[in-house]
Structure 1
Amino acid sequence: MKIDDSIFARYQAGKCSAAEQLLVERWLDQLDRFPEPVDTEMLTLLENLDSKMPFIKKRRRQFGWKWLAAASIIVMLTTTVYIYWGQRVEQGRYASIDAIHAPIKSNAIVVLENNTEYDLDKLKRNDTLNTGNYRIVRTQDDEIIYLTDPAQQSKIVYNTIRTKTGGTAHVQLADGTKVWLNTNSELRYPISFGAEIREVALRGEGYFEVAKQERAGRRVPFFVRGNTQTIQVLGTKFNADFTSNNETALLEGAVAFSNQGSSLEQTKKDRFSVRIRPNQVYDGRKIIEARDISRYIDWKEGYFDLNDLNVGQLSRKLSAWYGVEIRVDNSLAQVRLFGRVRRDKSLKEVLDLLGQVHPMNYTMKNNYIYIK
């Protein structure tokens, strides 16, 4: 049987015979042995296929043009199985899976020092919230910044930004440090830092770009404090995941760790016995060399990176983002995935994309979604 563009078109539409499907997949597996194409029509077809499915991205080997074809129609699940994915939706919340959309709001609040809460979605771009002693501004880029009265900066005043399900937030601290918060996370921080130390408390997950600050020729230390771990920052870019994953991924600079939790304004000294360098990840027990450090900040860039992810791990990401409870059959939890999907898609769109690269059907019954 000959490989031609009509077979690719049928494959993309899911209309191939079993023999044609096997032929295409075997051809893709052997792409690295083939010479460069001279058929411009075939190359155009492969590029068009890829543009239809831009979320597919496999990193294990690089084939130039050859991977355009494989990237467009690669099988995302490495094991051929029937999937049962029980997804329990909050009673009465959704009439059907079509109603489960990606969040369109920040779903975040700021808590002032007197415990007053403000919904950040009510603070429009370029608007200002005047608290009396300082002002909170939401910029055109959706960043939260503070304008403070110098007379008030001698006193340490704490605010908290808290994201809810499907929420994210971006705040610039008084020293110029930028922090992005993932969903279901919390950052407690002073609106102005003291002269001797900079410190914030994190619950959940956040990405940090810490500004360098010196006083009298000495670098002012920066600490990220969690319940079970403390990070000493040495001027850097990193992602701190203080959820059950407990992973800190370093993109630039250096960080050190104390495997003990700490609180703001504590007096005891921590011992920072572990230090990592860029492209390394520390999980509280061991240091891991990351093949692709950017996958740890996929949430910040607006997509789910599925590479080296299994179904169980993906289910937790989807549950936190779409606000639904997802249960995965134990036999499927370790099935590996590849590719990436934008987080602005509805849950139905995500499932449809998965269905284009691996045959599956899904139905919703009794507030569960069944995929098989």
Structure 2
Amino acid sequence: MGIRKKSTKSPPVMSHEFVIQNHADIVSCVAMVFLLGLMFEVTSKFAVLFITVQYNVTISTNGPEETAISHFHHGIKDLATIFFYMLVAIIMHAIIQEYVLDKMIRKKHFSKTKHSKFNESGQLSAFYFLSFGWGASIIFSENFLSNPSSLWEDYPHMLMPLQIKFYYICQIAYWLHVLPELYFQKTKKEDIPRQLVYIFLYLVHIAGAYILNLNRLGLILLVLHYFVELLFHVSRLVYFSNENRQLGFRVWAVLFVLGRLLTLSLSVLTVGFGLANADNQGFDLTTGNFNILFVRITVLAGVCLTQAFMMWKFINFQLRRWREHASVQTLKKKPGPSKSKAKKDKANGVNGVSSHAADSPRFRKQKSA
């Protein structure tokens, strides 16, 4: 994310700068239109499509006291709901940025690189924390951990409780909102490809689990992944406040590898063994059954390739850090210049960042971040 520079000079109305500076207010007005639509009978039916969760199915349970339980399935109307909550995500992004992150940044004197990373980690830490806590509460309330076979038994899991469906809608909405945020936050051109790659991966995996009725497996894998990512971004925020605190990165490195192994194990167990040995083999759009060999292979291939890609990026990241650390240790072992030589270099301006930036402590700290 780029650094937003506030100017006392008001930009022209509807110009790029005007939209960027006031995008939160503009989006809030659009969201308010849908909320006001609920107040009038003529528009309420239209506004409900955007605000409330659609495709409600009531199931009656037989017993001493007959009760009705509401479940939901997915459909094309979910796009309207996702659009509305994407607007909510943009508003929440702006609130966190203005009232939390910007106030913290004013107390620090970050470089442009650290400024961008601090904003990114601050936003993602808030999202991962809420998503992890919410997802973990759903897993415990639905008893998925106590009964792992529920991940593939009674497939397809087309009917979902309200909290699971709303969780997926919010997840898709959040990662879609990151796309316009690339423009609103003035993201650097060289950072856009990296951002687009991980946005695409999130959307494909979350929407894939939602559409293919693998919502139980997807929920557990998301919570596991979000926990590891939360640790990384919190560790980076702590590192920016005190660069000597790097224990969190070491813990994250171990959990990252374990998380990849556990993700592969659960995916193979559920898709490769559980669904492969299920009785309801076949393809049926009306019942939401996608339990055929081609779909199973595609799902496993997608998960395996993504985990391999993440491990490749992780290994390259660690190797780069080790090389930088080794180069720093090598420089420390070299004998320092004589006092006269140092004074001469300093006088000529070659003893600082201008000529030997790689040798300065400040530069090393920025690279290690």
Normalised by the length of structure 1, the TM-score is 0.22
- The structure with the larger Rg is 2
Q: Per residue, is there more strand in 1 or in 2?
A: 1
Question: Normalized per residue, which structure has more helix?
Answer: 2
